Amino acid sequence: MYAPSEAARRSGFSLDTLRYYEKIGLLSDIGRTSAGRRVFTDEDLGWLVLFRCLRDTGMPIAQMCRYADLAREGEHTAGERKALLEEHATRVEEQMRLLQHQYDHLREKIRYYEGLADSA
């Protein structure tokens, strides 16, 4: 069991984000101590690792919620979850290609300015 501060540290999310994710149902069934304080399990941290990946790769919260809802419905939704992740992976690949193109352009400009400095 992990205190919220430890779950935040391990996941890289802020405490406010953890509260928000619980409020919107992205995280569900978070345990509580007898004093009413939230406690996170290894399973909760596993969800947070996935949410970090999805968020960092630009998946909208609504799609993250859809994925989580499907997962909670059971194994019969595995195909739909896979399709959702495949669609997202395609968008990530497109973004990576765009970023690589833009990075190459930046490097070209830097080389241009390095050439100017060398000839000065």
pLDDT digits (tens, 9 = 90+) for 71-111: 999 999 999 999 999 999 999 999 999 999 999 999 999 99
Per the structure block, which two tokens stand in for 77? 């939704």
Are the C-beta atoms of 28 and 72 separated by less than 8 Å?
A: yes
Please name every residue paired with 39 in a beta bridge, in sequence order, or none if there are none: 31
Instruction: Output the six-digit token pair for 92.
Output: 């990530």
The total of other beta-carbon atoms located within 10 Å of residue 26's CB is 19
Residue 43: what pLDDT?
94
pLDDT at residue 117 above 90? Answer: no
Residues 6 and 35: their CA atoms lie apart, in Å, by 18
